[in-house]
Amino acid sequence: MSAKLGVNVDHVATIRQARRTTEPDPVTAAALAELAGADGITVHLREDRRHIQERDVRILRQTVQTRLNLEMAATDDMVELALEIQPDCVTLVPERREELTTEGGLDVALHRQLIKKQVGLLRQGGICVSLFVDPDLDQLKSSHRVGAEYVEIHTGSYCAAKTAGDRANELIKVENAIRAGKKLGLGVNAGHGLTYQNIGPVVALGGVEEFNIGHSIMSRAILVGMERAVREMVELLKR
Ligand code: PXP
């Protein structure tokens, strides 16, 4: 069975927020992604609200036809908001204000009590919970212990590997993590840093239910859309 694709539209909001204007709207981008075949829409509502805004999540909750996955920090405020908005799934991620993007997986083993509490509250509220973790056996076991239904394996180290040898080693870690997660009865998703060039070997491993991909799809969308966008403006300049 093919893996599902969750499209992360955060970067559409990044461009909008660069001008604090109303375009491009991540809600429109999400609808187009769904029309093109996305199985789900992911947004990360960060504490500093640097790209996605609360307004986006609330509207997406009404407009997304597939599944809405909300990435967020495991804080009381965010859990309260998620329980109110009711995304289909919450993916808990670590968050530091100064990072460019989510840099590492959640340390579930270290923050077991807090994460267990938040997973319990979200699940009681009818929301499916996934934990974004490094491909590490301890983290997978801890994720199972705190009651998560899914894990999302962090593929960042695999994607960032500079040599073929390092990449092969990181791929083995991802493969072992997928196997371990499934053995524990967890649903296994994967994401971060995946591109059109590096996703093939991960897909070939099998066992991943859904890939969450943002930056590479948005980057390509800007380039494949460039010609038409410029042509349309050139038309408007004609007298
Ligand atoms: N999964 C998680 C948990 C993330 O935090 C991100 C980045 O927002 C992604 C997937 C998507 O990563 P990328 O934008 O590199 O495809």
Consecutive 10-residue averages of pLDDT for the chain (239 residues): 96 98 98 98 96 98 98 97 98 80 86 97 98 97 98 98 98 98 98 98 98 98 98 96
31 CA → ligand 1 middle, Å: 19
Burial class, 121, CB count within 10 angstroms (exposed 0-12 / middle 13-18 / buried 19+)? middle
Q: Write the CATH number for 90.
A: 3.20.20.70
In the chain, the number of structural domains is: 1
> Best mutation site among 4, 8, 9, 50 for ligand 1, i.e. most ligand atoms within 8 A of its Cβ?
8
> 200 and 57 in contact (C-beta within 8 Å)?
no
Q: What is the pTM of this model?
A: 0.96
With a 6 A CB cut-off, is 11 part of the ligand 1 pocket? no
Structural domain of residue 119, as residue ranges?
4-238
